[in-house]
Structure 1
């Protein structure tokens, strides 16, 4: 009676084990995941089990079958796959990107079926940029930059402009899995440097940077006289007018007085010992040969004699100096 009871318990215990195995409590654990091309990967069962027979497949493709201490490896994995006859662990050597997938183990003697996914990735090398052109007209050109690698799989792309990440906007497009960056209506603030950072779970790499030459202007002109905000001066003064314009390439600057061109070019106009008849509008004209655009700025200068009160004040200030000079002599 006792032996029968023990036998019944053993059958129940075995049934419980088989139920646990069949319910998915047994897991397949890869030794590396993701793996790099060329690695050796072992797929083991956890918790471990003793399997006398079974098969391994990736997706619907059989890799091998085994019974006791004999195995049959299918041609697709010949020379690269083997099984541990005791534990049923599968070892794959020299793995390739094509080896990525869901690996399934089945065993008839314990009614076991379990699976696990593995990824095999290629490391990234030689990240490079290709551009359509680098000399562009502001608001009239688009830049197209393509990022590529010599090797690598499961790639992700990150674009940088200087220290800032480039994201999509009304002027920025990311296409081809973010490997191509397009900036429409390029502005002077889009000069770069642009670079591409490529990464996957096992490696990363960055490209050299590329800069754009943006032709623009002239605009945002400024004109100062003796570095002051005032435009009124007394006769006999020396005036230095400074003109500037935002432009690339630098604008050609020409000066004009009362609408008539002067024989003065460049950012500076100097007048010495000015007189009243030099009062009037002074203009700085800017021209950019590359954009064929021009701009100008004008300031009205007033030159007048000192008033009588100003002259008397000056005389009063000079008297002590005159007395001191007489005393000394």
Structure 2
């Protein structure tokens, strides 16, 4: 008879596997629950917009939530709280009427203002009365008004004055940029920006510095540009020389064109005749820029001295007189001599028969008296 079987022997485990198992037990720890976080949406808020403080990774089945202004649990800074099990919301001392707390712990702030900028803390109370807290941050930026460019000198003189242009109004957290004639600022020793770039200084202005100038204000939530601003640079105008297509013209002929030789821009032009403002007749036309006067046809009334006066807001200059001669006077004199001769001859032709007749009557009367 076989002896009874003994106890079952233990299965042999290789040493290297045992070392591996011990190592895994030593270094492996159960995965931790994801940490509570607060996300601000949108991350950069414009004044007047609505903002959500989103609560992420909130513990399951919490007992309640509470939102505070600041970074500590201070009941004087309580905004609002929510008890999940009884579905009750309680507003605190800092509740403005614009806040709403959702059942998932998210806080809505409507129509935010710059005073809403700051820290917000969420306190989550778990079922075991343990708490978890996390802080979010809200930064509210103003809606940028349209910038306005102002100048310290409305009528600077060329090569003499320095002009300071300022982009306003000043707002916080705002950067500024400038353009001249739709181009970024060129590198020039006559142009200087202030440290905050709100002020542009133009040294020794010239007529080429008229602009237009545009300033741009930027903050994290918007961009706004000013209306174009143009400098009115004053400069002395030169005496305008005149020329004429012809200075001696027979009456009823033409045209005669009078024009100034310089093409100076930014000036107004006035024509004078015999020292007085020219009254345009139907026979006269001016070019679109008033720099050319055309007379067609010429009349004897057009004879005399013409001048061109150019002016800007700084000063004015007149040209020397240019005299126009109409030759109707010489033709009229020759015509008068011929007319007079003809009249004399005509009168003589009429008077001679009358003289002969008178003489005959006189002789006849004398003869009758004698006899």
Q: TM-score category by the smaller chain? A: 0.5 to 0.7
User: Match for residue 208 of structure 1?
Assistant: 227
Alignment of 1:141-220 (within 5 A): 141-149=161-169, 154-166=173-185, 170-175=189-194, 177-216=196-235
1:176 CA drift (Å) = 7.5
Say which one has the larger Rg.
2
* CA RMSD, Structure 1 to Structure 2 (Å): 4.6
- Specify which of 59, 67, 88 is matched with residue 70 of structure 2: 59
**Residues 216 and 247, structure 1, Cα contact 8 Å, conserved in 2:** no
Alignment of 1:82-93 (within 5 A): 82-84=100-102, 86-93=103-110
Select the structure that is richer in strand: 1
SS in 2 for 1:82: strand
Cα pair distance change 1:248/1:140, threshold 3 Å:
farther
- Specify which of 42, 49, 53 is matched with residue 43 of structure 1: 53
1:76 CA drift (Å) = 2.9
User: Match for residue 131 of structure 1?
Assistant: 151
1:243 CA drift (Å) = 8.2
**Residues 124 and 149, structure 1, Cα contact 8 Å, conserved in 2:** no
Cα pair distance change 1:70/1:132, threshold 3 Å:
same
Q: TM-score, normalised by structure 2?
A: 0.48
1:9-61 CA-partner distances (Å, limit 9, x unpaired): xxx96x932xx42xxxx321223232233332221122343432343234355
Name the CA distance, whole Å, in 2 between partners of 1:131 and 1:153.
22
Q: TM-score, normalised by structure 1?
A: 0.53
Name the CA distance, whole Å, in 2 between partners of 1:196 and 1:178.
10
Name the CA distance, whole Å, in 2 between partners of 1:82 and 1:98.
18
1:256-288 CA-partner distances (Å, limit 9, x unpaired): xxxxxxxxxxxxxxxxxxxxxxxxxxxxxxxx9
1:82-140 CA-partner distances (Å, limit 9, x unpaired): 322x4221121221122122333233535433233333233233432222223212332
Give structure 2 stretches of 5+ with no counterpart.
1-28, 72-76, 239-259, 269-311, 316-371
Cα pair distance change 1:75/1:167, threshold 3 Å:
farther
Cα pair distance change 1:59/1:289, threshold 3 Å:
closer
Name the CA distance, whole Å, in 1 between partners of 2:314 and 2:51.
61
User: Match for residue 160 of structure 2?
Assistant: 140
Matched, 1:31 2:41: yes
1:186 CA drift (Å) = 1.9
Name the CA distance, whole Å, in 2 between partners of 1:83 and 1:172.
54
